[in-house]
Amino acid sequence: MAFGNVDPRTATSRAQSGALFDAGLRAYMLKVYNYMGLGLLITGVVAFVVAQLSIVTNEAGDIVALTPLGQTLFVSPLHWVVMLAPLGLVFFFSARLHKMSVAGAQALFWTFAATMGLSLTTIFMAYTNSSIATVFFITATTFGAMSLYGYTTKKSLAGWGSFLFMGLIGVIIAMVVNIFMQSSALQFAISVIGVLVFVGLTAYDTQRIKESYSVHMNGEMAAKGAIHGALRLYLDFINLFIMLLSLFGNNR
């Protein structure tokens, strides 16, 4: 072999390793998106069905009363459980994932998605069905574009992390403050900033999930990683949807 030339066997081995990595990464990311998509489907079905069972509307589509189920879930003290249960499940999931079996992690993720659907039932009480569908389409398009960017860009988005985290904390604090202030101007600002934060997090989290993949992952590790990645993207999607709905949704 002449000096400076690459051994064909080495080049072939590298090409095969690269092809193996790319195929594994595609399968891994597809699993992440499949988990996320099914989670969103469960959330949407639960929210829609519970809304139909919880409200009474007139011919114009205006809410005229709550059914006994609606009063129990959204008027009685139980509404605090409905509202806070998804947050509790997220913390529990993050803390216990590494100790769970794959089946247990899957079951908890589906439970979380259903519980989130129960919590999001109120959007069908506040907004028209047509505006919810429109905003969902806008969210899906925006999310898809930013996730694709995060997956394909060669630029490291690591520098976005601290900025986005500070923005997220600011949004959470402002939301808590606005519970007491009930300011429409502050709510508008929260929604605008929230959209920017979750658009950025979609690209950032996608790249982080992609970078977390390794060909050395065993089956259980890869499955748990895909579920955890799906949870991150699911939360980005849901929060982006809520912020956009606050901006563009039509009230009943």
* pLDDT tens digits for range 6-49: 555 555 556 556 677 888 899 999 999 999 999 999 999 999 99
Average pLDDT over residues 199-226: 90
Average pLDDT over residues 192-212: 96
Residue 51 has pLDDT above 50, yes or no: yes
User: Among 9-13, 97-101, 231-235, which is the least confidently predicted range?
Assistant: 9-13
State the pTM of this model: 0.89
* 3-state secondary structure (DSSP) of residue 182: coil
Contact 194, 243 (CB under 8 A): yes
Interacting residues of 203 by C-beta distance below 8 A, sequence separation 6+: 146, 147, 149, 150, 153, 157, 160
Banded model confidence at residue 2, pLDDT cuts 50, 70, 90: very low
